[in-house]
Amino acid sequence: MGPPSFLLMDVTKVIEVLEAYFPLSLQEGWDNSGLQISPKDSSIKGILLSLDVGLDTIDEAIDNNCNLIIAHHPLIFSSTKKIYKDFYPYNAIQKAIRHGIGIYAFHTNLDIAINGLNDYICKLLELENVKIIEEYPPLRIGNLKSTMPIEEAVSYIKNKLGAECVKFVKGNSKPIKKIAICTGSCADMVYEIKDLDFDLFLTGDLKHHTAFFAKYSGINMVDATHFHTEKFSKNILYDTLKKEINDIKLIISKKDSIPWFYK
């Protein structure tokens, strides 16, 4: 038996399928979701789904004969006037173009959408009575099935996310029932949501001064890292495409990793 035959599909069809679930109109005004680099061939041989687009991600696409990478984080984010071949993301941009690989990003629109990333984390934590906070589109607030001391709640979150370790701020000693969630780099949102009704705020990229604010304002926070709160984005994209398109070659990246070591 030979290798499985996969459907060749135009890149616009793939994009239409995903944008129906995660429309670009949902993205934040500062974001840069969408098609970043057009593939050399509009017929898609295979799609690599990733959190980030690193040099090794592009190698992975080449090795798997994928000419489209769909990532959560945009490779091209802010405007630039120069392209430096030795520095990221410019070296990755050059490499993708050289090998004819297209790059598409579903970023804050995936965070905000119904059944997007924040809803996925709510389901992973088995939260109940989840509410979308309209003033803060990515934010979700839901209830744990049972009330826990903060140390137990932190361990529960760590295990559910599959994180090596997490850090947390203990602003008070009340039992934890109601969890506020905003994945990725949302820690500074605590200044805006401090008056909302929640027992613990789960997010990533918590800075020193923000942690001090939370500690002395009586707010509990968990920083489970940007990576571990958003690594599931590629699973959402995979499941969505698999449901809508038959026989298309989909690969979930194995190269995504946290960009530092613990010691």
Q: Where are the domains of the chain?
A: 9-111, 114-229
Closest alpha carbon to 65 in 257, 256, 248, 255: 248
At 4 the pLDDT is 59
Is the pTM of the predicted complex or chain greater than 0.85?
yes
80-100 pLDDT, tens digit per residue, is 888 888 999 999 999 999 999
Quote the tokens at residue 41. 């061939």
Q: Which CATH architecture has domain 114-229?
A: 3-Layer(aba) Sandwich (3.40)
The C-alpha atoms of residue 198 and residue 241 are separated, in whole angstroms, by 34
Tell me the CATH number of domain 9-111, given options 3.40.250.10, 3.40.47.10, 3.40.630.40, 3.40.1390.30.
3.40.1390.30
How many CB atoms sit inside 10 A of residue 42's CB?
15
DSSP run (H or E) holding 145: strand 140-148
Which ranges in 166-230 belong to alpha helices (H)? 190-193, 208-215, 226-230
The C-alpha atoms of residue 7 and residue 56 are separated, in whole angstroms, by 26
The C-alpha atoms of residue 26 and residue 223 are separated, in whole angstroms, by 25
Pairing state between β 102-105 and 128-132:
unpaired
Sheet holding 102-105, edge to edge: 34-37, 102-105, 68-71, 47-50, 250-252
At 3 the pLDDT is 55
Per-residue pLDDT of the chain (263 residues; tens, 9 = 90+): 555 556 678 999 999 999 999 999 999 999 999 999 999 999 999 999 999 999 999 999 999 999 999 999 999 998 888 888 899 999 999 999 999 999 999 999 999 999 999 999 999 999 999 999 999 999 999 999 999 999 999 999 999 999 999 999 999 999 999 999 999 999 999 999 999 999 999 999 999 999 999 999 999 999 999 999 999 999 999 999 999 998 899 999 999 999 999 88
Q: What are phi and psi of 63, to 5 degrees?
A: -65, -30
At 64 the pLDDT is 98
At 237 the pLDDT is 98
